[in-house]
Amino acid sequence: MSVCRYVANYPLKPKINTKQINFMKFISSGNAPRRCSATADSTTAMANSVRVAVAQMTSTNDLAANFATCSRLVKEATAAGAKLLSFPENFSYVGAEDGDSLKIAEALDGPIMKQYCSLARESNIWLSLGGFQEKGSDDSHLCNTHVIVDDNGNIRSKYRKIHLFDVDVPGGMVYKESRFTEAGKDIVAVDSPFGRLGLTVCYDLRFPDLYQQLRFQEQVQVLFVPSAFTKITGQAHWEILLRARAIETQCYVIAAAQAGKNNNKRESYGDSLIIDPWGTIVGRLPDRLSTGIAVADIDFSLLDSIRTKMPIDKHRKPIDFWKASAL
């Protein structure tokens, strides 16, 4: 796992050495990641595509019922040949009242996450578990944490949501996520058999700098945006923002969504999506389908070809360059 501090002013030097070291570590552990460079492909001689799945669900304040739904969706994903399944933010629990989430928040080695790790191991599938209520640094806060679990049930990576949803939604409700949640500060990328993954959560989607950093400093190939978008903002912005992130980073985007009525106060916007690096939607669960999975193949030849033919990494100008020339 590679973790670096999230900063507002992005240095543009790519961390080539870190990437190469991570890559070599991965090879030596016997888990060759897919890479988009010709050299890496010929070294690893791996198949050039891998099947992944995205889940949509309506989580409630019933931990056992949510786990049962996740188990069922894992079975569907493995039957469809997927090697990874991505769940939405708050997959394991959506509180009915303010502060409910704090009461069930646990450490990542607690019983709730252990149950999901066992599910991954028993089903031999990687899981992206976005938006887990992780116990915070004091009793009145939690972290909104996105966890990657491998097919042996080991936690490979954790990312704590950086941008908190303190928003008065026009025509909707007022949210203050920061009341109970502490913001993360670290940007997180991790190697996997599905390429190099960049982890984000929900409202992060509106802050493209984070995705630029993941692509151009962390060299990721697949971006995750597990979410519980509001109905109003989702209808207006969800698809366009996700496709923009895919196009401008030339990454696959996997965006799992909560859908439907989670409780009397809360309705989420569905439309879970898998988007390819050209911005084409290759997997979708429409809002009206509250629970299910969609699958798509991550095609590393396509990713490689798009990046080679339109080399935006080489054309990108450092922030200092355009600041100076504007004077």
Active-site residue numbers?
89, 161, 202
Q: Per the structure block, which two tokens stand in for 302?
A: 């396509």
- 266, 175 Cβ separation under 8 angstroms: no
**Looking at 119, 129, 162, 202, which residue binds ligand KGT (CB under 6 A)?**
202
Which two tokens mark 25? 């570590």
The number of beta carbons lying within 10 Å of the beta carbon of residue 264 is 7
Interface segment toward ligand KGT; rule CB under 6 A; list 93-101, 109-117, 118-126, 279-287: 93-101
- State the number of binding residues for ligand KGT (CB under 6 A): 16
- The reply on whether position 300 binds ligand KGT by CB under 6 A is no
The C-alpha atoms of residue 28 and residue 137 are separated, in whole angstroms, by: 36
Could you say whether residue 175 binds ligand KGT (CB under 6 A)? yes
- Token pair for residue 211? 């995705």
Distance between CA atoms of 165 and 51, rounded to whole angstroms? 32
Question: How many Cβ atoms sit within 10 Å of the Cβ of residue 52?
Answer: 26
Closest to ligand KGT by CB, 40 vs 275, is 275
First to last CA, the chain: 40
CB 85 within 8 A of CB 73: yes
Tokens of 287: 């809002």
Torsion of the alpha carbons at 151, 152, 153 and 154, rounded to the nearest 10: -110
Binding flag, residue 87, ligand KGT (CB under 6 A)? no
In angstroms, the CA 60 to CA 261 distance is 9
233 binds ligand KGT, rule: CB under 6 A? yes
Contact 117, 150 (CB under 8 A): no
Q: Least distance from C-beta 95 to ligand KGT, angstroms?
A: 6
Q: Give the shortest CB-25-to-ligand KGT separation in angstroms.
A: 33
- Closest to ligand KGT by CB, 95 or 277: 95
* Min CB(258)–ligand KGT separation in Å: 7
Q: Of 77-85, 116-124, 223-231, 310-318, which part binds ligand KGT (CB under 6 A)?
A: 223-231
Stretch that binds ligand KGT, among 1-9, 94-102, 246-254, 278-286 (CB under 6 A): 94-102
In the bound state, the residue with its beta carbon closest to ligand KGT is 233
Q: Examine residue 267 and tell whether it contacts ligand KGT (CB under 6 A).
A: no
Which residues are paired to 145 by β-bridges?
132, 160
Structure tokens at 180: 């109970």
Selected from 116, 229, 252, 300, the binder of ligand KGT by CB under 6 A is 229
For residues 194 and 229, which CB has a smaller minimum distance to ligand KGT in the complex?
Answer: 229
Binding flag, residue 89, ligand KGT (CB under 6 A): yes
Question: What does the binding site for ligand KGT look like in residue numbers (CB under 6 A)?
Answer: 89-90, 94-95, 101, 144, 165, 175, 177, 202-203, 206, 228-230, 233
